[in-house]
Amino acid sequence: MKYLDEFRDPAAARALVERIRSTATRTWTVMEVCGGQTHSIIRNGIDQLLEGAVEFIHGPGCPVCVTPLEMIDRALEIAARDDVIFCSFGDMLRVPGSKHDLFSVRARGGDVRVVYSPLDATRIAADNPDRQVVFFGVGFETTAPANAMSVLHARRLGLTNFSVLVSHVLVPPAMTAILSSPTNRVQGFLAAGHVCTVMGTGEYGPLVERFGVPIVVTGFEPLDLLEGVRQVVELLEAGTPELRNAYPRAVTAAGNAVAQQALADVFTVTDRQWRGIGMIPESGWTLSERYAEFDAEQRFGVRELQVAESDQCHAGEVLQGLLKPNQCPAFGTACTPRTPLGATMVSSEGACAAYYQFRRLESAGGALAPTSATGGASAPTSATGGASAPTSATGGASAPTSAAAGV
């Protein structure tokens, strides 16, 4: 497939792996920020290829993982109403709230629909003037522009039956929180390529300055990720923290001005809870005063709904590498991929879920072994420090960050 196959070439990948390995004089701890990058790393086994040279700590950039429990519960309450058509991206449907998930609401008669774009939701609203249509607006700076456009579109159409349950989160404040944590282990970042496509790279220079960490804007295909790692490792080895763009085919320094304008118009910065991490100041967007009429929390009176995270869940400590997943008392008993208590078990790429799968493989007599000519050691069973979910080979903790609580 043109523009994709070029970035999946095994021979080029091998060359990059060799170059990274020959550059690295020690194991560097690198965080890929975006959930899409984590998915690609796990799917392609890039962590296995780089074992010994790079330990990945999987960043907080998975909207499914970090959307807080109380926001899920607000969604469930709205979706259960008789007068509501509740529209959501597909993978939010199985995220458990404190009692159940959107699938259960649908099974009990709620009108919950999977959409591929927020503009589908405005169309549904236009087609159903006698129903309230609510879109679950989750995600980072990547999904936010389209969600902003849906609000602008709704105003243009004069839709009074459309609203958005906004739970947008922002990357730079999360990175700041991670770097400010006294237990932080992250030495370099692969910044989220598509977030930067929208926002540009201007927000990251100050982080490099303030914390002295290299940040490399990175894409999502295997070669994109390896090129990002190569640059970050070279900067770490040279001791020269810089901001680099390793994804120039999609990212410019200025970003997408039209999208930024829509975001600035529709949203305003707010404090946000992150599941498994806690409150991060000024880390999210909510609807600005000008568009408050489209705010579903206000329309359905669910803003006061507060829910505490499970006290059985130790995701925060797992994320900091202070606890291995299987040392959590709930691991594999109260908390499984079918009945997750915390963010790290929700996503299949989360540290606890990955550890759970790996233990199944291990107890079945198997191992995930890099066998390519990278000279990597075999089975990543050895937990290299901290949380180390062995499926992610290098033992990097998964899902939300190592910063966790105390932020």
Q: Which is nearer to other proteins, 103 or 211 (CB)?
A: 103
Order of strands across the sheet that contains 267-274:
111-114, 84-88, 132-139, 162-169, 278-287, 267-274
Stretch that binds other proteins, among 84-92, 150-158, 166-174, 293-301 (CB under 8 A): 84-92
Residue from 23, 337, 383, 385 binding other proteins (CB under 8 A): 337
Q: For 313-328, b where at least 16 C-beta lie within 10 A, e where not — what string? A: bbbbbbbbbbbbbeeb
Residues 196-255 that bind other proteins (CB under 8 A): 222
Q: Total binding residues for other proteins by CB under 8 A? A: 55
Q: What are phi and psi of 43, to 5 degrees?
A: -60, -40
CB of residue 271 to other proteins, shortest distance in Å: 22
Two tokens, residue 13: 């990948």
Stretch that binds other proteins, among 29-37, 170-178, 205-213, 253-261 (CB under 8 A): 29-37
Identify the three-state secondary structure at position 63.
helix
Q: Give the span between the Cα atoms of 221 and 205, in whole angstroms.
A: 24
Contact call for residue 114 and other proteins (CB under 8 A)? yes
3-state helix, strand, coil in the chain (%, to 5): 40, 20, 40
Q: Which is nearer to other proteins, 12 or 208 (CB)?
A: 12
CB of residue 55 to other proteins, shortest distance in Å: 16
Residues 46-75 that bind other proteins (CB under 8 A): 46, 48-49, 61-64
Stretch that binds other proteins, among 153-161, 179-187, 267-275, 365-373 (CB under 8 A): 365-373
CB of residue 211 to other proteins, shortest distance in Å: 25
Stretch that binds other proteins, among 69-77, 137-145, 161-169, 268-276 (CB under 8 A): 137-145
Residue from 24, 53, 125, 138 binding other proteins (CB under 8 A): 138
Distance between alpha carbon 352 and the CA centroid of its chain, in Å?
15
Cα dihedral 132→137→142→145 (10° resolution)? 40
Q: What are phi and psi of 351, to 5 degrees?
A: -60, -45
Contacts of 304 (CB under 8 A, 6+ apart): none
CB of residue 311 to other proteins, shortest distance in Å: 25
CB of residue 304 to other proteins, shortest distance in Å: 27
Residues 182-201 that bind other proteins (CB under 8 A): 194
| Beta strand 132-139 pairing with 28-34 | unpaired
Residue from 29, 104, 142, 256 binding other proteins (CB under 8 A): 142
CA angle 4, 8, 13 (to 5 degrees): 145
Contact call for residue 109 and other proteins (CB under 8 A)? no
Residue type, 178: I
Please say whether the beta carbons of 242 and 269 come within 8 A. Answer: no
Identify the three-state secondary structure at position 120.
helix
CB of residue 381 to other proteins, shortest distance in Å: 13
Residue with tokens 């900091």: 320
Catalog residues that contact other proteins under the rule CB under 8 A: 1, 4, 8, 10, 13-14, 34-36, 39, 42-46, 48-49, 61-64, 89-94, 103, 114, 116, 138-140, 142-143, 194, 222, 337-338, 348, 357-358, 360-361, 364-366, 368-374, 391
